[in-house]
Every structure is written in C-alpha cells, then in structure tokens.
Amino acid sequence: MPVRSKRKARIAAMKALYAVDVGGQTPDDAIHEAITAADLAEPYAQFAADAVRGVLSSGEELKSVIEGHSQGFTFDRMAAVDRSILLLAAWEMQAGREDPAVAINEAIEIAKAYSTEDSGRFVNGILGTIARLLPGREARILDGKELSKRVREGLKARVYALSKRGVQPRLEVLVAADDPASQTYVKMKRKWAEEVGILTGTFEVGANTTQEELLERIHALNEDATVHGILLQHPLPAHLNESAALEALGHRKDVDGISPQSLGRLVAGMPGFRAATPLGMMRLLDEHEIDVAGKRAVVIGRSVILGKPAALMLLERHATVTICHSRTEGLREICRFADVLVAAVGRAEMVRGDWIKPGAVVLDAGYNRVEGRKGDVGDVAFDEALEVAGWITPVPGGVGPMTVAMLLSNVVDAAETATP
C-alpha cells in the first residue's frame, strides 16, 4: 500500500478507536463514520476496519503491554489520542501486520499531527521498548570484511588494465616512526595495496624530522607524476604541525580525503576524494540498497576525519542529519529517533540497545580496547543493539576493512584520472 494512503487508513482507525474510547460509539458505527469521513477506498478501508477490530479484540492484552513499558504512567492517565495511537501501533507490531520500524514511524507522525508536542517522543519511547521485545528479531549484519574482499578483487582488475597502459598506481605513506600502532596499521595497508598491485613507499617521520623537512617531502611527492596517492597517517609526532602538513598536501593526491581542501570540496559538493572511513560506510549502504533519502540520521562524533564528513556524505544523499557528540544533552533521546545512527565518538559501548530505534541502521566506527576483553570493542553495545537494529556493522569486521578498501579505491581512481 502507498504510504500516504495507508497513513490515511491508520488515521481513520485511530479516530474510530478514539470514538469508541471517548465517545462511547459502537465499533461498527465508529468504523463506518471514520472510513466514510476519510473517503477510503479498498484495500485501505478494509485495513482500517481490520485494525480497529484487531485492537478491540486484543484490547486488554495490548493495554497491559503498553502500560508495562510506560515508565510509571497508567494506561488511563495517558491522553486519549495517545492511547489510540499506541494501541494501533502495538497491534500492528504484535500481529505482524507491519515492520516495527514503519509502525513506529507512522505512530510518531500521527502523534505529532493529532496530539501534543511531546507525544511523538512519548509514543516513540513506549513503542521502541515493545519492539525490542518482539520474538525472533535480530539485526542483519553489514559485513565489511566480506565486501572489502570483493572491492579489492575489483581493484585488481582495474590495476591490471592500467598496467596494460604502462601505469602502475603508487601510494606513498608518511607515518610516525615511533608509533607502534600506526606502524602496524600502515603495514596492513601496504600489504593489501601490494596484493591488488599498488606500489607503496614509506617515509618515517621521526623525532628529529623538522617541519620544513616534512613539508619539503610532501611538496616533492605532490610534484612526482609517478605518485598517485599520498597518505598522512594520523597522528604525526607531536612536535610537528599536522594541520599545516595536510594543508600542504592539498586535494589532488589526498586519497584519505581529510585535507582542508578535500573537506572543502565535500562541503561544496565538488568532485574530489572523500574521507575513507565514511566512504566505506556509504559503500556498505549501497551494497545492501539502503536508501537514506528523507531519513533521520544521527552522527555521534565531530572529528574532521570521520564524524563531520560522514554527516556531509549522508546529507549529500538527502538524509536529514543531526551531529551530536559526547557533550550533547539528551543524547539517548536524540538517538532513539534516528533511522541511521553513526557511532564515531571513541567511547567503548557508549551507545546502548535502548538508545536505538527499532529497525535502525547502525554504523559503528569505534575501535576501543577494554581491559579484560579480547579484541576491539565498538562504540555500540553490539549484543544489545543486535536485538533492536535492522542493520548493524560488527566490530571488528565492519567499518574497519572498508576504510582500507576505500583508501585503495581512491588510489586507483587517482591513477585512472591521471592517465591520458
């Protein structure tokens, strides 16, 4: 059923339930009047009638469920319109007549239109809790590890085609010499690059490297026609001005997409390399045909390498975006309205299951070490989120592998663009 027509049917059903509850009408009279007033044709009239009768036949059970998740509100104390909206949505979910995420979204919109300013939030909170307890619900996994393999296989073919034209894609990396974590990460990036046929080189930035030497190296690489991509592995040694280095890099070979010029081109909607981590997120959405146009997206995190570009890329796809951070007031409540939730705040399992709207897409970009825990932990409490979300990236194996794959894809793009 088209969304607008089905919403009209839901509104008619809500009004009929209200008339029975407050006006004392018989169900048949209330249904007839509501359907006639809404001028509903089939199959929408039948949906509205079935919904009203379904709610009334399960009324006491539904009221008990709603009251049990209302945080102290008795059912009778709730606004009459809110009661009707909650009963209708709860019935749709429990009867399996509608996807929980859709039922909740519709209830929120109807509450905003026909009840008080706070009703949308109130309805969302109760229905979200009910949805989380529905049997057999588990999020689908956005498998970045598997998709990354397929992306890299595709890159091999493109690199081979370039080699036939006498071009070998080349990536140069500038990395802190005394940072073991960065060294390990760069080693893995170089390994994957070489597997697809990309040449790599490394310049180790040490404690004795001056700012002038660093900028000279960047300038030389920018002028070298055989170099297609340059990566400044964050963080550089503390005595160096990393912002100045990124500014010197510019946008032409910034395959990580984080220089001021690259970010400016993103803001302006101009062509250029996009930041690898959020680009990997967008590629995961594309792979699973997840359309974010018109959806509410919440990004927790405001870094220039992740949070901000992720928000801008979602905006490019016509999502309605809210940027939050660790100091945002009412963060949990804001997240509960998100159809797409990006966690990039760098705090282990900060986002709990009850922060997540049922059916939401959850993109977890966090990689945190927790004492006593084996392996990396994301910013999202995965086991809790798995029972609520519609789609979710695991940690590890979600966003991380896609970051490297998109970096390498940008290098190959650069080589193809530079080739006559």
Interval 324-379: pLDDT, tens: 998 999 999 999 889 999 999 999 999 999 999 888 899 999 988 888 777 789 99
Q: Where are the domains of the chain?
A: 1-132, 169-273, 276-399
Mean pLDDT of the chain: 91
- The yes-or-no verdict on residue 119 having pLDDT over 70 is yes
For residue range 259-289, what is the model confidence (pLDDT) as tens digits? 999 999 999 999 999 999 999 999 999 998 8
Catalytic annotation, residues:
189, 233, 256
Name the one residue in this structure whose structure tokens are 């796809």: 317
CA atoms within 13 A on the CB side of 178: 7
Contact 202, 186 (CB under 8 A): yes
Point out the least confidently predicted range of 83-87, 102-106, 220-224, 371-375: 371-375
Give me the count of residues in the chain: 420
Between the alpha carbon of residue 83 and those of residues 17, 20, 73, 79, 132, the distances in Å are 9, 12, 11, 6, 20
Per-residue pLDDT, averaged over 52-64, amounts to: 89
Which residues lie below 8 Å from residue 282, measured CB to CB, with a gap of 6+? 274, 313, 317
DSSP SS3 for 415: helix
Q: pTM of the full predicted structure?
A: 0.72
**Hey, which CATH number is domain 276-399, 3.40.50.10490, 3.40.50.300, 3.40.50.720, 1.10.287.1080?**
3.40.50.720
- The yes-or-no verdict on residue 408 having pLDDT over 80 is yes
- The yes-or-no verdict on residue 5 having pLDDT over 90 is no
Which residues lie below 8 Å from residue 291, measured CB to CB, with a gap of 6+? none
What's the pLDDT at 420? Answer: 61
Which residues lie below 8 Å from residue 225, measured CB to CB, with a gap of 6+? 418
The H-assigned helical ranges of 133-179 are 144-163
Give percent above pLDDT 70 in the chain.
97
What's the pLDDT at 137? Answer: 65
Same fold, 169-273 and 276-399: yes
Point out the least confidently predicted range of 52-61, 65-74, 333-342: 65-74
For residue range 385-398, what is the model confidence (pLDDT) as tens digits? 998 888 999 999 99
Contact 124, 354 (CB under 8 A): no
DSSP-assigned beta bridge partners for residue 296: 320
Q: If one looks up domain 1-132 in CATH, what number appears?
A: 1.10.940.10
What's the pLDDT at 418? Answer: 84
Phi, psi (deg, nearest 5) at residue 171: -120, 130
Choose from 90-104, 143-157, 376-390 the range with maximum mean pLDDT. 143-157
What's the pLDDT at 1? Answer: 47
What architecture (CATH level 2) is domain 169-273? 3-Layer(aba) Sandwich (3.40)
Closest by alpha carbon to 186, among 175, 199, 170? 175
Per-residue pLDDT, averaged over 1-26, amounts to: 86
- The yes-or-no verdict on residue 71 having pLDDT over 80 is no
Please, which pLDDT band fits residue 88 given cuts at 50, 70 and 90?
A: very high
DSSP-assigned beta bridge partners for residue 320: 296
Computed on alpha carbons and rounded to an integer, the radius of gyration of the chain in Å comes to 26
Phi, psi (deg, nearest 5) at residue 380: -110, 140
For residue range 193-229, what is the model confidence (pLDDT) as tens digits? 999 999 999 999 999 999 999 999 999 999 999 999 9
Contact 358, 90 (CB under 8 A): no
Closest by alpha carbon to 262, among 309, 301, 307? 309
